[in-house]
């Protein structure tokens, strides 16, 4: 709970992980309505509701009409609305890739919608989870160009040692020695930057290609059953994506100085 900047009023964000039992879910909707009445301002309910609103939000799995009616009643009574989700139709898929459902969503109070009518809800790619992450984007944010850092993951790449040695050896005849060291480090940084950019562009291109392949395969699976070969291809793409993601996580740990 907090306050929006520039006099936007109070706002409360509730992270939901609903139970599977129908009666427990119905009680949760009652509790959430009571919570809303206890405080004014805008509300955002987001997370895994373990419930769909209509039959077309499920594929190859059963639809419980009473459960959906209870959920829709909670949404209507609470004055909640949701943005249209872009990028996909379903947010959850079973491990075998056969059953799909839209059980993850973001519900906002009508006053929030009036403040950000053009906000976008994006269904992001899923690689390590059976749920798609959801991103509610209210504005474009740019944090500026990141500073130069050296990451240990670069040492796994071919050619880095030669680049560093060449840049180091080319700087000579500078005195005193501390200025020589500073000049050599500056030369190494200048030499590494274009190499690093090349590696980053390569990985980014490969990442986008693999993400598109997986996304296209997931979207295809939403309408037709995948063949055994397609399932194997998807698994191999996910394995490579996880390798790239592991390297990225190692860099993030190093940046955060986590040993």
- What residue ranges do the domains of the chain occupy? 2-137, 152-255
Instruction: Give the integer Cα–Cα distance in Å for 26 and 24.
Output: 5
Instruction: Give the integer Cα–Cα distance in Å for 68 and 86.
Output: 22
> Is the model's pLDDT at 149 over the cut of 60?
yes
pLDDT of the residue at 258: 61
pLDDT of the residue at 146: 65
Share of the chain above pLDDT 70, in %: 97
Q: Which helix (H) or strand (E) holds 121?
A: strand 120-123
**pTM, two decimal places:** 0.59
Mean pLDDT, rounded, of the chain: 88
pLDDT of the residue at 101: 94
Q: Encoding tokens for residue 213? A: 């392949």
The residue-averaged pLDDT of 162-179 equals 91
Instruction: Map tokens 């919608």 to a residue.
Output: 113
In this structure, CATH architecture of domain 2-137: 4-Layer Sandwich (3.60)
Q: DSSP code of 154?
A: G
Query: Which pLDDT band holds residue 94 (cuts at 50, 70, 90)?
Result: confident
The angle subtended at Cα 44 by Cα 15 and Cα 65, nearest 5°, is 80
Query: Which pLDDT band holds residue 140 (cuts at 50, 70, 90)?
Result: low
Q: What is the DSSP string of 226-237?
A: PPHHHHHHHHHH
């Amino acid at each position: 709970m907090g306050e929006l900047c520039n006099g936007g009023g109070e706002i409360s964000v509730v992270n939901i992980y609903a139970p599977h039992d129908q009666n427990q879910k119905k009680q949760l909707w009652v509790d959430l309505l009571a919570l809303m009445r206890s405080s004014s301002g805008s509300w955002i309910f987001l997370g895994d509701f373990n419930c769909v609103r209509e039959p077309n939000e499920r594929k190859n799995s059963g639809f419980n009409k009473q459960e959906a009616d209870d959920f829709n009643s909670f949404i209507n009574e609470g004055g909640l609305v949701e943005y249209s989700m872009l990028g996909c139709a379903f947010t959850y898929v079973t491990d075998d890739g056969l059953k799909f459902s839209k059980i993850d969503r973001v519900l906002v109070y009508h006053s929030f919608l009036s403040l950000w009518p053009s906000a976008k809800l994006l269904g992001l790619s899923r690689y390590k989870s059976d749920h798609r992450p959801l991103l509610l984007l209210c504005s474009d944010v740019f944090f500026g160009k990141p500073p130069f850092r050296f990451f240990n993951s670069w040492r796994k790449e071919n050619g880095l040692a030669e680049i560093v040695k060449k840049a180091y050896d080319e700087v000579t005849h500078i005195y005193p020695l501390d200025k020589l060291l500073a000049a050599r480090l500056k030369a190494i940084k200048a030499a590494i930057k274009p190499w690093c950019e090349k590696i980053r562009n390569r990985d980014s291109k490969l990442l986008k290609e693999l993400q598109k392949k997986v996304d296209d395969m997931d979207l295809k699976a939403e309408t037709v059953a995948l063949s055994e070969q397609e399932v194997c291809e998807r698994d191999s793409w996910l394995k490579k994506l996880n390798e790239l993601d592991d390297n990225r996580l190692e860099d993030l740990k190093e940046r955060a100085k986590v040993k």
